[in-house]
Amino acid sequence: MSKNASVRFARICTAFVLAIDALSAGITTSVAAEDCPSGATDIATDRPDVTNSSVVVPQGTLQIESGVNWTARPGNSVIDGSTTRVRLGVTPCTELLFDLPNYFHPVSGPGASGFSDLSLAIKRQIAPLPGEFQLSMTAGLELPTGAVRISGSGYGGYIQLPWSREIGDGWSVSGMFTAFWFPGQRRSNPTLEPTFVVERRVGPRADMFIEYFADGPQHGTSSQAVDSGGAYRLTSTQQVDFHAGFGLNRESPDFFFGVGYSFRLDGLF
């Protein structure tokens, strides 16, 4: 991608982020601030499954979520970490997200090593919707700060819609739809990612889940996988988690495994 094209793409993504925030702010003007999370609620993270939380972090809260993953494919395996996401609640229903560069290192077989790109995003919670659904909207921009062999060249971006619904007796369902524009790929050929999760609360502090997700360009073959795992809240503001899964077709990893830790700092402003 040329320098001028990169600048134009960055301006388009920035304008879209501002438009999403303005639109969702207009939708939620009639929603009371208490309908969005407060410091009295338990920590809710975007880990360990692929599906992100449908709720934002409380206003004035800094939440940091990190982990390490091991992914095996035919002929090679890779460890990456720490997959650090920083979430900052700037209003009762809006947060800023920063995905810090993540380091990839091949453990066996051929493979590239290096850092991924830095990503910035804004997330707005639309709370609540009819049928007791929770929904958020996220728009992000990927900056060309990492190794080209890991992240490609130029800017990238994504649009994301995570949702969830409680169905009773500790059970809930959730999902997410994402459209990615990866660096170096045509903007007319986004990669689409649907996910679906069934989750069960186990006691007052733990959750278990099973998840299906797929990644596929509009022109190409998709990968599909099943993920499962759980999270345990050490306190209302700290969580440890794990996940493990396997691919369902040849384009997917053979298997993958990860562990993580997240914490939250409330009342910063």
CB 35 within 8 A of CB 56: no
Q: What is the pLDDT of residues 16-46, one digit of tens each?
A: 555 555 555 554 444 456 678 887 789 999 9
Q: What is the pLDDT of residues 237-262, one digit of tens each?
A: 999 999 999 999 988 999 999 999 99
Record the pTM. 0.86
Please report, in angstroms and rounded to a whole number, the separation of the first and last CA atoms in the chain: 40
Buried b (16+ CB within 10 A) or exposed e, 1-28: beeeebeebbeebeeebeebbeebeeeb
Q: What pLDDT does 28 receive? A: 45
Q: What is the mean pLDDT of residues 131-152?
A: 90
Residue that is written with structure tokens 């997410």 in the block: 176
Q: What is the mean pLDDT of residues 85-106?
A: 95
**CATH number of the 3-265 domain:** 2.40.160.40
Q: Where are the domains of the chain?
A: 3-265
Per the rule left: phi > 0, alpha: psi between -120 and 50, beta: everything else, 211 is beta
